[in-house]
Amino acid sequence: MYLHADNLDDTADIARVIARFLRTGDIVVLAGEMGSGKTAFTKSAAAALGVTESVTSPTFNLVHTYAGDAIKVHHVDLYRLSRTDEIEDLTIDELARSGVVLVEWGDVGDDVIGDHLEVRVAVGEDDDERDFALRPVGRRWDARWEKLRGALAGHMVDDWSGL
Amino acid sequence: MKILAIDTATEQVSVAIGDAMRIDAAFCVASERRHVEALVPAVSMLLGNLGMTVHDLSAIAVDVGPGLFTGMRVGLATAQTLADLAEIPVVGIDSLGIVAHGAHAASPLDVDDADIVLPVLDARRSQVYWSMFRNNFSSTNPLEEVRRPRVGDVAELLEDIMDRGQRALVVGTGASRYAEQLATCAETTRMGMRSGLEVFAFDPNVPQATTLLRLAASRVESGAIGDGIEPLYLRPPDAEINWVTR
Amino acid sequence: MIPPPRVDESTVVLGIETSCDETAASIVMGGTDVLSSVVSSQIDAHAKFGGVVPEIASRAHLELIRPVINEALDTAGVDPERIDAVAVTIGPGLIGALLVGVAVAKATAFALDRPLVAVNHLEAHLYAALLDDPNLEFPAVVLLVSGGNTLLLSMDAPGSYHLLGATIDDAAGEAFDKIARFLNIGYPGGPAIDRAARRGNPRSVDFPRAMLHDGYDFSFSGLKTAVMNHVRKNSDVASDDVAASFEAAVVDVLATKLMRAARDTGARSVVLGGGVAANTLLRSEVDRLARAEGFRVALPSRAMCTDNAAMIAAAGWYRLRDHGPSGLEIGAVPNLALVADTVRTNRAAPGRDHR
């Protein structure tokens, strides 16, 4: 499914809506180039899950974990990794057992990371515009997919206009 | 002549103290990657129970891999440091040799059904680490390494077994993980009237430090200590992920 | 159990640091007297990847730690038996890298039967200025800027400090690294931006100064995006000018907030720490502004700004004196924060837990 955000509020809203559908065990893979807003997306999603502290970039330490209202939020960044062994060492599936996991640059570990929701972000024509492509990998999202589409209908577009 | 043996290259922390004749004390815990937390307290507890300090040891043995990278490094760093400060030698033994000899100790009759023994450890990503031992059918030197540890796809392991054309026994975590492929391979070789392949899935929950200790003890006795230890990663550390956009 | 150690001017601490890409060991006596400080950098090993690669860093630490410690002992002219305590960084940092140092430190403490002291890397950076200038006047405000953190603290005395503000998204050093990589001007990012900026015009692009007049927290994510958007739209723009303008925006925010914190807290001294404190413009701006307002300025040498083990040994000495030793069961804590039990905070410290 393709989404378009005219401004930062739209982007935050998309993140919040997706967050409402997240439950323990879910992995969200965030793809998109540097500066596209992967951390910003995570901030909005984490806030929607009840995280009150600052969600800071996990690039340096690879994994940050926050307590939400009823769920843990694990924020992972693969930016510095060079081998898929290292992705496995992060034990993303184990993290998912205790909460939701959002993985920046997660697309490079597609074949190592289990079932997940891929969220691809691209900068639009205007600095604050963003284009999103959402894609479920595996069957985990089957039952929720139509409901998610319905909840995001206001942002939906027919085509991917991102890069 | 007491040896401290440390194995942290697997999911477990396994420690033993003893000599060629007997194991005086042993400890094992499934540590879920908390190797560094458990290791020194375990060593301290065992030495304490025996009324010993590190200065009463004559050598330290360590599993140098292949295995879990982080666990291996904890073991190597700890063993080397203890050995340096106690001014005693450190002996490195590879994990595959430990598995092969451990299988022989646990079940010598099964081993004696085979001409070659292949310890196989799961290396993840559909790959395995393996080496190969020839069965000498002797009590003094039962297994002799004929192939150094390597990493590869399961298909390469199967090829390796078929090429050899001998009765083969496969042991270790990789044997249980890929039991089905190995069984199919065994079937094929039998139909081709070639030597039989036996698949024996060795239980990896046996504490490995005791086997490591025995291997190290015979090394120390024969004076074949080697000069220093090196981790056996078998995989390069550098870029494998194809970064396009980063 | 090891009896509580006597901690005084003659206490010799071995410090070990392996949290990122520097393998370091140091011998410090009495918390301030640096007998040796050895740092082996792995910059070359990571250069072709444009960033620290965790597995490469971990392997290098294992190879280097033994010769580095031996050199620290030799240089200091100290036998292992003379070591009174072993201090080691347990976090924050890369898990695989930290584990090497922690394993060596624990084995050393155990074999020598000496106390082990777990040190927070961020806390240790606060002692770096004190090592260069033991007569530092308190209270002080400290700006700690590195690849993983951007923190503003006030410090009443060694061991007594509280957090004023922190980045809410990217660390300043991370912004330097990512922009350097984006502009393709070299590695490591900090020195590369520094060099390029000296050649460029800092006023060529007016990049945003996020939250400049708003509290003590920092935000650099928007600036990073603004730089990228600018370059994407102006492909002919000179990298040197972009680097200079970007650096000017970062330094403006850092220096402005540091000076405001100094005024607000009634500090006598202004202190810089962390890898980004080696930045030429940041040093000269802080020096200029602080002097103009009559503050004492402590700019640690570049060797003390970047990761080193002398600061770990120093922090270990204070920690041992004030809190006693750590147990041998400690592990590495990759997301260790400056937390309430070691710091008097005036706001909730980030309560991240670790894997």
In terms of C-beta density within 10 A (0-12 exposed, 13-18 middle, 19 or more buried), how is residue A55 classed? buried
Q: Which residues of B touch A81 (CB under 8 A)?
A: 241
Predicted pLDDT of residue B190: 60
Question: Does the CB of B242 have a partner CB in chain A at under 8 Å?
Answer: yes
Nearest chain A residue to C97, by CA? A61
User: Does B33 contact A at CB distance below 8 Å?
Assistant: yes
What is this structure's pTM?
0.89
Total beta-carbon pairs less than 8 A apart between chain A and chain B: 37
On whether both C142 and C278 belong to a single domain, the answer is yes
- Chain A residues closer than 8 Å to C354 by CB: 63, 65
Site from B70, B127, B233, B246 to mutate, A interface, most A CB atoms within 10 angstroms: B246
Q: Is residue C131 part of a domain?
A: no
Quote the pLDDT of residue B16. 97
Give me the CATH number covering residue C313. 3.30.420.40
Do C160 and C226 belong together in one domain?
Answer: yes
Number of domains into which chain C is organized: 2
3-class DSSP state of A85: helix
Q: Residue B158 falls within a domain, yes or no?
A: yes
Asked if C99 and B74 come within 8 Å (Cβ–Cβ), the reply is yes
Select the residue of B36, B86, B246 nearest C332 (Cβ to Cβ).
Answer: B36
**Beta-carbon separation of B237 and C59 below 8 A:** yes
* Residue C101 falls inside a structural domain: yes
The verdict on B146 and B85 lying in the same domain is: no
Shortest distance between the Cα of C138 and any Cα of chain A, in A, equals: 30
Domain identity same for C105 and C228: no
The pLDDT assigned to C353 comes to 38
When scoring A80, A108, A111, A123 by the number of chain B Cβ atoms within 10 A, the one with the most, hence best to mutate, is A108
Same-domain status, C60 and C186: no
Domain match, C258 and C310 both: no
In a domain, B101, yes or no: no
What pLDDT does C351 receive? 36
Residue B35 lies in a domain: yes
**C54: nearest CA partner in chain B:** B237
Shared-domain flag, residues C86 and C146: no
State the total domains in chain B.
2
Quote the pLDDT of residue C265.
96
Containing domain of residue A89, as a range?
2-157
What is the DSSP secondary-structure string of C254-323?
Answer: HHHHHHHHHHHHT-SEEEEESGGGG-HHHHHHHHHHHHHTT-EEE---HHHHS--SHHHHHHHHHHHHHH
**Interchain proximity C80–B36, CB inside 8 Å:** no
Task: Report d(CA A147, CA A163) in Å as an integer.
Answer: 27
Residue carrying structure tokens 């998912």:
A96
Residue C182 shares a structural domain with residue C270: yes
What local confidence, expressed as pLDDT, does residue C147 receive?
A: 86
In a shared domain, residues B61 and B123: no
* CA–CA gap between residue B243 and residue A135 (Å, rounded): 21
Q: Is residue A20 part of a domain?
A: yes
Q: Is C328 within the bounds of a domain?
A: no
Single-letter code of the amino acid located at C290: A
**Are residues B212 and B167 part of one domain?**
no
Is C345 within a domain? no
Show which of residues 75-114 on chain A sit within 8 Å of chain C, judged by CB atoms.
79-83, 85-86, 89-91, 94-95
Q: Identify whether residues C287 and C311 lie together within a single domain.
A: no
Whether C52 and C159 share a structural domain: no
Structural domain boundaries enclosing B37? 2-94+205-222
Task: Indicate if C234 and C314 belong to the same structural domain.
Answer: no
Residues lower than pLDDT 50 in chain B: 193
- Å from C43 to nearest chain B CA? 14
- In the numeric block, which tokens belong to residue C82? 């003379």
Query: So what's the ipTM on this one?
Result: 0.93
Could you give the 3-state DSSP secondary structure of residue C338? coil
Q: What pLDDT is recorded for position C326?
A: 96
C90 and C221 share one domain: no
Cβ <8 Å between C53 and B237: yes
Residue A163 lies in a domain: no
Mutation pick from A42, A60, A105 vs chain C, by most beta carbons of C within 10 Å, is A60
Write down the pLDDT at residue B38: 96
Taking an 8 Å cut-off on Cβ atoms, the answer to whether C169 and A55 are in contact is: yes
pLDDT at site C270: 96
Of the partner residues A34, A78, A84, the one whose CB lies closest to the CB of residue B125: A84
Same domain (yes/no): B25, B79? yes
pLDDT along chain C (355 residues), means of 10: 74 97 96 96 79 88 97 97 97 94 98 97 90 90 92 90 92 93 90 96 96 93 93 92 97 97 96 94 97 94 92 96 94 81 37 35
Overall domain count for chain A: 1
Name the β-bridge partners of B120: B130
CATH number for the domain that contains residue B81: 3.30.420.40
Contact list in C for residue A50 (CB cut-off 8 A) is none
- Mark yes or no for CB contact A59/C170 under 8 Å: yes
Give me the pLDDT at residue B104, please. Answer: 86
Which of C231, C352, C353 to probe the A interface (max A CBs under 10 A)? Answer: C352
Cβ separation B78–C56 shorter than 8 A: no
Residue A45: enclosing H or E segment and its boundaries? helix A38-48
Inside any domain, residue A44:
yes
Provide, as residue numbers in chain B, all residues whose Cβ is less than 8 Å from the Cβ of C25: none
Q: Could you tell me if C18 and C61 are in contact, meaning their C-beta atoms sit under 8 angstroms apart?
A: yes
Residues C147 and C164 in one domain: yes
Q: Report the alpha-carbon distance of residue B243 to residue A82 in Å, rounded.
A: 8
Q: Which domain holds residue C78?
A: 12-126+305-323
- Asked if B6 and B90 sit in the same domain, the reply is yes
